[in-house]
Amino acid sequence: MSSSNFITFPKDFLWGAATSSFQIEGSPLADGAVESDWYRWTHTPGKIAQGDNADIACDHYHRVKEDVAMMKKLGLKTYRFSISWSRVMPQRGVLNEKALDFYRALIEELNQAGIQPFATLYHWEIPVWAEGGWENRETVFAFEEYAKAVFKRLGSLSAYWVTINEPLVIACCGYMWGWFPMGKTDANAYGQVAHHLNLAQALATRAFRDLQLKGQIGPAMAMSTFDPFSQNPRDIVHADRLDAIHNRAYLDPMVDKGYPQQFLDFAGKLQGPIEKDLKLMAQPVDFVGVNHYFRNTCRYKKGANILDNENFLAPGSRCSDLDWEVRPESFSDILFYVWDRYKFKSVFVTENGMATRMSKRGLEGTMEDDVRIHFLGTYMTAAQKAMQRGVPLKGYFVWSLMDNFEWTMGYDPCFGLIAVDPKTQERRWKKSAYWYQGVIEKNGIDLNELPLEPDYQLSPAAEAKVSA
């Protein structure tokens, strides 16, 4: 800590790593579990890159003790994981005791290792018996029943609970862009699903309060800035519209602000007792989780897509291997935006990380991942700058603990600190894992020790498109 460039964090700061059930557990139909929408999606030809699926994933379902021991060695203060609805409730109203035992054992193993469990109720999987997915209002009440059941059985074992992970991504990728289940491209379906997810988040929060559990609860939101491509007033208005559709549509109802008009104009008429629902949605939360990967630079172009938007990277921009822009300033900006606009009591970075591709870097480039160390170090520094601006940031979770099944992209994008061979299940520490171990031990980052020439991808042209 002798360096003048050492960035320190509060003594009680929670350093963690995150995963999700479907992405690491494998054995999706084991011990009485039923198919989820994602299980069916991964077994539908043409939906997943390389024809990959999550039937084995990281085999975490059989390797809990080994993986928790690895987390302890890494020095994690907390570990964020998710619970599979389709494991725990194979039929509506019916509980699977073997599934509950699995998650209870995981939580107890974490507690024994001195690692704070940070449990997520829902990370994208819907059991197939919930017909119609999130478009069906009945799914909201089935989720409330599931939440109550989990809280009654496991709620006292974890001090932190995330209700829903990234409602935006569920609605956006599944109902606006058609990449995820249910595969729709419909603005009204997007709006209806967003509304139902907001209501489900509120009802789960209320259930937690009703049981008088002592822990903290909040959602994990996919958040990014929407910056205008130019100072043309048309682009400025357009960027604000996209911010309303993607960010404020999920956060405003939580603080009793209702829906932004731009969201309602885009989504069209929503079904249900909307005013009554909005009153329910204003459930106070203990924290908001921010999942952040890249910013959006927006240019209005009528008819370009469902959003009339073109999203560009400037030439020579640093990118991850997924062509996602690397810009730590945007991380600081979005953390400040969430706190300054909404004044939530606490904020956690519930996901932040970058992907490398084995197909681009090979084994050596994957393991000697200076680029990830640089990314994490600069983004953590940006988070600390947000704290200096007043953001009550309480913890940071790297996405992800280990390489896993990355949804429609399969296994080639690798976000993990730990490399996992999907064929042999061998776990190997990357250089970034050793580096993060040191960050946790020192409770800070020595900027002088960050790699000087990280091997980012560079945007080749002014109009290189990135993922929306």
Active site residues: 166, 351
Residue 364 carries which DSSP code? H
Q: Where are the alpha helices (DSSP H) in 57-156?
A: 64-74, 85-88, 97-112, 137-154
Are 14 and 396 spatial neighbours (Cβ–Cβ below 8 Å)? Answer: yes
From residue 173, give the alpha-carbon distance in Å to each of 28, 178, 182, 262, 456.
22, 6, 9, 19, 26
Radius of gyration, alpha carbons of the chain: 21
437: Cα separation from own chain's centroid: 22
440: Cα separation from own chain's centroid: 21
* H or E element that contains 168: helix 167-171
Identify which of 153, 143, 97, 149 has the alpha carbon closest to the alpha carbon of residue 123: 143
User: What is the spatial distance between Cα 17 and Cα 338, in angstroms, rounded to a whole number?
Assistant: 21
Identify which of 166, 172, 174 has the alpha carbon closest to the alpha carbon of residue 266: 172
